[in-house]
């Protein structure tokens, strides 16, 4: 089968296609013939070497965390799914390897009928991440939530999940994305200078939680939230210096005890919630671009530009 990997830290062009033997499903796993898979922004930082102290690795590194496809192998202990079923889900955080013709999933859910393969292939990781952070912030009915970087792959999902929980959502994005954010249920504003004053004008009673998907603005976000306890980032590697929690689900056998202690449990229940919301027409997956598997380096380049609106996927 074809698979995407890199064998050294570096720019997008270190990513390449290799031929390798297809993996087999183990106990409590399924294997899928992949139709589409997601390009993870977090893997841009892994590939560049920015996370080498958080996620140490041995090369080669196989990319891809979420995928959608047709079940073609069912491991021991698996119930409720059969050969030929259409599913979306996630690989093991250790093995990864979803950007390939076949992938082994450790968590999955039925593919919603209303989603294309591209939408389903890029969803699971964003849903898990958004659910994990919203759970940590205890976002619920009547809360006001600021999503910083709301037009990206995780931000678009976070906006919709927070709205579905009954929250009022303010989302930051470039001005040309403001109508798009309104279509997702958020009140938009721009990021950058004057953010604190803009948010205070939009939410005079204050903001209950801040979900940072962009990085680089933690002092302002802490000021908006009135302290560090109600701010969680998935993007700012300087979080600790600002007293802010950096949410990640570090694999147990790839990180130090100190890093594992700070990791959040994976919010796998978010996949089931996503299926329900999709069926109710309350969750859609904006796709920024879809690239052939052979153009994975170009997909990484677009992701690294941080100008993509929605999710970037590879199609197989």
CATH superfamily of 127-262: NAD(P)-binding Rossmann-like Domain (3.40.50.720)
Residues in the chain: 316
What is residue 308's predicted lDDT score, i.e. its pLDDT? 82
* Terminal Cα distance for the chain, rounded: 11
Q: Which residues of the chain have pLDDT under 50?
A: 252-256, 258-259
CA 263 to centroid of chain Cα atoms: 15
Q: Tell me: the pLDDT tens digits for 64-108?
A: 999 999 999 999 999 999 999 999 999 998 889 999 999 999 999
Q: Please, where in the chain does CATH 3.40.50.720 lie?
A: 127-262
What is residue 255's predicted lDDT score, i.e. its pLDDT? 47
pTM for the model stands at: 0.93
User: Percentages helix, strand, coil for the chain, rounded to the nearest 5?
Assistant: 30, 25, 45
Question: For residues 109 and 311, what is the distance between their CA atoms, to the nearest angstrom?
Answer: 19
Q: Please, where in the chain does CATH 3.90.180.10 lie?
A: 2-123+285-315
CATH topology for the 2-123+285-315 domain: Quinone Oxidoreductase; Chain A, domain 1 (3.90.180)
Question: For residues 118 and 114, what is the distance between their CA atoms, to the nearest angstrom?
Answer: 12
What is residue 251's predicted lDDT score, i.e. its pLDDT? 52
């Amino acid at each position: 089968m074809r698979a995407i990997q890199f064998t050294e830290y570096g720019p997008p062009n270190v990513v390449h296609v290799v031929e390798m033997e297809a993996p087999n499903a183990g106990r409590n796993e399924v294997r899928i013939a992949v139709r589409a898979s997601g390009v993870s922004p977090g893997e841009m930082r892994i590939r560049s070497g920015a996370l080498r102290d958080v996620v140490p690795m041995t090369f080669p590194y196989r990319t891809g965390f979420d995928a959608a496809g047709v079940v073609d192998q069912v491991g021991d202990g698996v119930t409720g799914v059969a050969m030929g079923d259409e599913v979306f889900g996630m690989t093991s955080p250790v093995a990864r390897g979803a950007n390939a013709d076949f992938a082994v999933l450790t968590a999955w859910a039925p593919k919603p009928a209303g989603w294309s393969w591209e939408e389903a292939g890029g969803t699971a990781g964003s849903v898990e991440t958004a659910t994990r952070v919203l759970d940590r912030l205890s976002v619920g009915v009547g809360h006001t939530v600021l999503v910083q970087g709301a037009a990206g792959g995780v931000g678009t999902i976070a906006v919709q999940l927070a709205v579905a929980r009954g929250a009022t959502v303010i989302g930051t994005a470039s001005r040309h994305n403001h109508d798009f954010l309104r279509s997702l249920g958020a009140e938009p504003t721009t990021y950058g200078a004057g953010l604190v004053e803009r948010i205070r004008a939009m939410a005079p009673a204050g903001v209950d939680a801040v979900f940072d998907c962009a990085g680089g603005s933690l002092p302002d976000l802490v000021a908006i939230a009135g302290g560090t306890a109600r701010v969680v980032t998935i993007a700012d590697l300087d979080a600790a210096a600002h007293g802010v929690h950096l949410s990640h689900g570090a694999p147990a056998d790839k990180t130090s005890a100190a890093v594992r202690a700070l990791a959040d449990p994976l919010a796998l229940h978010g996949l089931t919630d996503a299926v329900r919301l999709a069926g109710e027409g309350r969750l859609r997956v904006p796709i920024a671009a879809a690239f052939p598997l052979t153009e994975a380096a170009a997909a990484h380049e677009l992701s690294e530009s941080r100008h993509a609106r929605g999710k970037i996927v590879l199609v197989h």
